[in-house]
Chains A and B, each alone.
Chain A
Amino acid sequence: MKVSVPVALGAALVLTGGAVTGLRAQAPATFVVESPTMATGRFMPRDYSPDGRNLSPPLTWSGLPPGTRQLAVISQDYGAGRPPPWVHWIIYNIPSSAQGLPEGIPFDADHPMPTEIAGAVQGNNGWGLSAYRGPAPPAGSVHHYHFAVFALDEEFDLPPGLDRGELLQAIEGHVIGQGDMVTLYERQPMSERPG
């Protein structure tokens, strides 16, 4: 299933919160972020969480603004973290030729990136790991997970391991477009799962 859900600029700014500091004075263009396995406003599959294989989910994007030379992605939860957001995933130096991210980006730096995103590197999430780690909210609470994609007008060669603040600082003034996708997750412990 592929669900197209364009995000309005106003909503994008609200959803990405602190990321607005990385924007230009001129409002960035918006573009569409989708996933072949997830849909905005729906629960994500458990394989993207520690209740499953904890794979990074696939993303696709379309309608990038002209002049896009590189992309960056931050996945975060504004309902967690002290202070919020809790960062689940950061990946950047993504070539503009990429039309998305495949499922299961390696969490081991010794494993090469898929060829379509060669050169991309991962930053440090809330656990201090340069890898995707999916939702693990307290049982019984539904959390929202944002996948914010930034279109950049410059080809950066940033080192791996940047945290969210460091990445936003590095790309400040170079964000010419932004898209966002919001999914949900609620843990269902073994004891509460039927069968």
Chain B
Amino acid sequence: MTLPPKDPRPAISRRDLLKTAGAAGAAALIPDAVGAVTEEAPALAPLLAGPMTNLTASETEILSAMVDRLIPTDELGSGALDAGVLQYIDRALSEAESDAAEAYRSGLAALDQYSRYSRGGPFIDLSTVDQDSALIDVQIGAATGAGAGFVGSSASFFNMVKSHTWQGMFGDPKYGGNVDFAGWDLINYPGIRLAVSPEDQRSLEADQLERARRSAYDFGLFE
């Protein structure tokens, strides 16, 4: 029997990857924590659980692995974890997306149950190939009938997380994501400007326009 291609990248524990990425994202958001993280590695685990307001440690791990597959860090640039998508979603669940908190709770539990049932292990421990395969089945709704506990179609859960991941990656940094403008850099977005001069336009077309690294709220017009 021929096995499917394995992830060509070195075998790195998903937990290790999560801790590294989670620590980096959290440190960017909470400057006071930077010293503790960089000087004392054992502080990683508490830091991972600490900054989250709504998500439990287990939910944080599963969601981290999921958004890391949606927008992974690769040769093209930063990924969702670098951009603070996890922190964006956690914060949004207290604010504008508070109605979605239960959908996250049940959906993340169902994703993990589905992974154990179909791929033989918790989602965070699957190879990236199996994680992607499982997520495709969740995306197209094929995971629904496995009885893993998705409320409605598994596709609804996938689309919700995907939508929030996009928001956290490419939205205004004011809302907690797009840390260090990682999302805008990834798509070469030149940044927000109140006016674009002809010279700006020419520079943009020549791919020489200096990026404006400012939140829309820095302009004072939107507060």
Contacts and interface: CB of A to CB of B under 8 A. Distances in A.
Interface in A56-86: 58
Interface string B133-173: 10011001111011110000000000000000000000000
B2 interface: yes
Interface string B1-20: 11111000000000000000
A129 B140 contact: yes
A104 B142 contact: no
Nearest to B140: A127
Contact of B3 (A104, A107, A127): A104
Interface stretch (B112-120, B176-184, B187-195, B209-217): B112-120
A192 B147 contact: yes
Given A107-B133, A190-B147, A50 B5 contact: no
Nearest to A110: B8
A52 B141 CA distance: 15
Interface in B106-137: 113, 117-119, 129-130, 132-133, 136-137
B136 A107 contact: yes
Given A51-B117, A53-B133, A107-B133, A58 B2 contact: yes
B130 A133 contact: no
Contacts of B5: 104, 106, 111
A122 to B, nearest CB: 13
A136 B142 contact: yes
Given A133-B140, A136-B142, A191 B1 contact: no
A134 B147 CA distance: 17
Interface string A106-121: 1110010010000000
B176 to A, nearest CB: 31
Nearest to A187: B145
Nearest to B144: A136
Interface on chain A toward B: helix, strand, loop, or mixed SS? loop
Given A54-B133, A107-B133, A138 B145 contact: yes
Nearest to A101: B2
A55 B134 CA distance: 11
A37 interface: yes
Contacts of B132: 107-108
B223 to A, nearest CB: 43
A190 B149 CA distance: 10
A193 B162 CA distance: 31
Contact of B142 (A36, A50, A102, A191): A50
A10 interface: no
A25 interface: no
Interface of B: 1-5, 113, 117-119, 129-130, 132-133, 136-137, 140-143, 145-148
25 contacts: A50-B118, A50-B145, A53-B4, A54-B133, A54-B137, A58-B1, A102-B2, A103-B1, A103-B3, A104-B3, A104-B5, A106-B5, A107-B136, A108-B129, A108-B132, A111-B5, A127-B140, A129-B140, A136-B137, A136-B145, A189-B147, A190-B113, A190-B146, A190-B148, A191-B147
